[in-house]
């Protein structure tokens, strides 16, 4: 069954492909040294900033508790827990930078080689944020994989389609976009991959039957 999916954020299209190419470039320089996750977050921040419209602003390392109203329940998310990247509508008044009403997109960045439990933690954290916010903010996990397709999200070099449950929650995720950088068209297994995973509170609305 098909689903009516929201449009992907335009600023992420070029940013994701650029991130895959950047991974390839860094891999050529430091083949024997896997890139730290912090470096991936920093470059994702640079590329998103370069593609962001003037109506939006990007801020790294934002506390989750400041992304929702003060009375919101974020069970399982510690007071000091921070989202890697958050996009706000641009501040045109005197609101604080963490004004929950201006949050548009919350993003976490994770290495493709991370343990499933760690990836699940990010997915659940994003789901908990969505459950606690009173706005239409959206939540994404960006998975960056060096020299290997992340099998949980990619099959045959392409996104694994459909709705996938998030363990220990009522939410689900969809692989919205997969880009890669490879030495040849046929070299899918050792390409560098970047996957955009969108988290939902529940299943998106099914498309009507024709």
Q: How far is it, in rounded angstroms, from Cα 140 to Cα 59?
A: 15
Is-above-0.75 flag for pTM?
A: yes
- Neighbouring-strand partners of residue 89: 56
Alpha carbon separation from 49 to 46, 100, 108, 113, 181 (Å, rounded): 5, 20, 15, 26, 21
Phi, psi of 33, deg, nearest 5: -125, 100
Q: How far is it, in rounded angstroms, from Cα 107 to Cα 1?
A: 27
Alpha carbon separation from 155 to 25, 142, 149, 150, 180 (Å, rounded): 24, 17, 8, 8, 13
Per-residue pLDDT of the chain (210 residues; tens, 9 = 90+): 456 789 999 999 889 999 999 887 766 656 656 777 888 999 999 999 999 999 999 999 999 999 999 999 899 999 899 999 999 998 765 555 558 999 999 999 999 999 999 999 999 999 999 999 999 999 999 999 988 899 999 998 899 999 999 999 999 999 999 999 876 555 677 789 999 999 998 766 665 665
| Domain positions in the chain | 10-200
Look at residue 99 in the predicted model and tell me its pLDDT: 81
Q: Is residue 79 a contact partner of residue 6, using CB atoms and an 8 Å limit?
A: no
Look at residue 1 in the predicted model and tell me its pLDDT: 47
Q: Is residue 133 a contact partner of residue 201, using CB atoms and an 8 Å limit?
A: no
């Amino acid at each position: 069954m098909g689903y009516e999916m929201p449009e992907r954020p335009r600023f992420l299209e070029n940013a994701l492909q650029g991130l895959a190419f950047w991974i390839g470039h860094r891999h050529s320089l430091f083949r024997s040294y896997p890139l730290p996750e912090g470096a991936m977050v920093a470059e994702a921040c640079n590329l998103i900033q370069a593609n962001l419209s003037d109506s939006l602003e990007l801020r790294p390392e934002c506390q989750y508790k400041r992304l929702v109203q003060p009375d919101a329940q974020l069970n399982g998310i510690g007071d000091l827990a921070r989202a890697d990247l958050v996009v706000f509508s641009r501040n045109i008044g005197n609101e604080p930078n963490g004004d929950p009403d201006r949050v548009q997109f919350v993003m976490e960045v994770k290495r493709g080689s991370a343990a499933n439990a760690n990836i699940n933690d990010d997915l659940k954290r994003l789901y908990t944020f969505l459950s606690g916010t009173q706005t239409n903010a959206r939540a994404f996990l960006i998975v960056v994989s060096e020299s290997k397709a992340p099998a949980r999200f990619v099959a045959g070099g392409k996104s694994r389609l459909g709705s996938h449950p998030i363990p220990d929650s009522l939410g689900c995720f969809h692989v919205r976009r997969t880009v890669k950088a490879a030495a040849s068209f046929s070299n899918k297994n050792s390409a560098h991959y970047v996957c955009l995973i969108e988290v939902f509170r529940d299943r998106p609305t099914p498309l009507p039957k024709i």
